[in-house]
Amino acid sequence: MPMTDNKKETGINGVINVYKEQDFTSHDVVAKMRGILKIKKIGHTGTLDPKAEGVLPICIGNATRICDILTDRSKEYLAVMKLGIRTDTLDVFGQITAMADADKVLSQSEELIRETVKGFQGKIVQIPPMYSAIKVGGKKLYELAREGKEIERKGREVFIDSIEIKRIDLPYVEIYVKCSKGTYIRTLCDDIGERLGVFAAMSSLIRTRVGNFCADDARRIDEIEKLRDEGRLNEIIVPADRIFKEYKSIVRDSVMKGHEEIYEKLLYNGNPISLSLFREEEITSERFRMYDLSGNFKGIYSLDQKKERLTPYKMFL
């Protein structure tokens, strides 16, 4: 009897750290990965602009359930901004809407630039750019922008963990940013230019890290195709449980003797599990990686101290 598509798709579950190249959209990468892996159940973990490049973890099979978790993780970027211009897209690829005097730009002191850039570290409020994928009234902002419309956007609070100047070669300034999810680097460049009084537009962007996934370990699409042809895809597929390696693991030996059967039954049904089933010394965390009696990863549970139980957060049954 021939295998169904669903059965074929159970073969690959995990995350591949893809290096998105310029002029690909994040959706392009997902489409290409579907073609390479012959799997429909694939999702990405945070949009990158077409002109940007860098880390774009791709979730496959049951690991698509952690797309939202990876999207929430902190990110790191290497960006170059060009002082002296402002554009409608907030990068150098848009239409110029304002320019500063070239002499004023070139007269900016390194000390002033460094002090200004450093001032953006910590909690800041950003107004999302019109050219973004945020939806308003069922329509993406960039769709409205292409129609020549501009609407009022609410400011959003983000956090810049650190921002460091790597190089100054006026009118270009290269910065390295560690930030929370939802941070727009284009907006950050524009805001820095505004504060300097000379405008600024982002000229290049590389996402170097998403959570534990870094650019040095990322693979380009052609590399992934080659590994597939060589039968070596397993070398780059990160199992879902390794994404949560900071969480304590609950395994067979964590369960009190005599309670193994009820533990596994509750786990397989995705039910809350009483703390009374575990050895007391095992419950030393807020989140747990849960494994069945055979050592297979089944999900993430959270500690509910009030009700003295572990409750399901993400299941991978």
Contacts of 35 (CB under 8 A, 6+ apart): none
Sorted by where each begins, the domain ranges of the chain are 13-73+213-241, 75-210, 244-315
Q: Which CATH class is domain 75-210?
A: alpha beta
3-state DSSP assignment of residue 97: strand
Cα angle: 207, vertex 212, 215; to 5 degrees: 35
- CATH superfamily, region 13-73+213-241: Pseudouridine synthase (3.30.2350.10)
Bridge partner list, 2: none
Q: What is the mean pLDDT of each run of 10 residues along the chain (317 residues)?
A: 36 92 93 94 88 95 88 91 96 95 95 97 88 67 66 84 97 97 94 97 97 95 96 94 92 95 96 95 92 95 96 91
- The CATH classification number of 244-315 equals 2.30.130.10
Residue 154: per-residue pLDDT: 82
> In the prediction, which pLDDT does 47 show?
83
Structure tokens given for 33: 């990965």
Query: Of these residues, 5, 28, 49, 72, which one is catalytic?
Result: 49
CA-CA distances (angstroms) from residue 228 to 30, 136, 158, 202, 283? 16, 40, 39, 36, 41
**Rounded to whole angstroms, what are the CA distances from 200 to 124, 132, 274?**
18, 18, 56
pLDDT of residue 142: 66
Is the distance from CB of 77 to CB of 102 less than 8 angstroms?
no
| Predicted pLDDT at 6 | 36
Are the folds of 75-210 and 244-315 the same?
no
49 is catalytic: yes
Q: What is the value of pTM for the model shown? A: 0.86
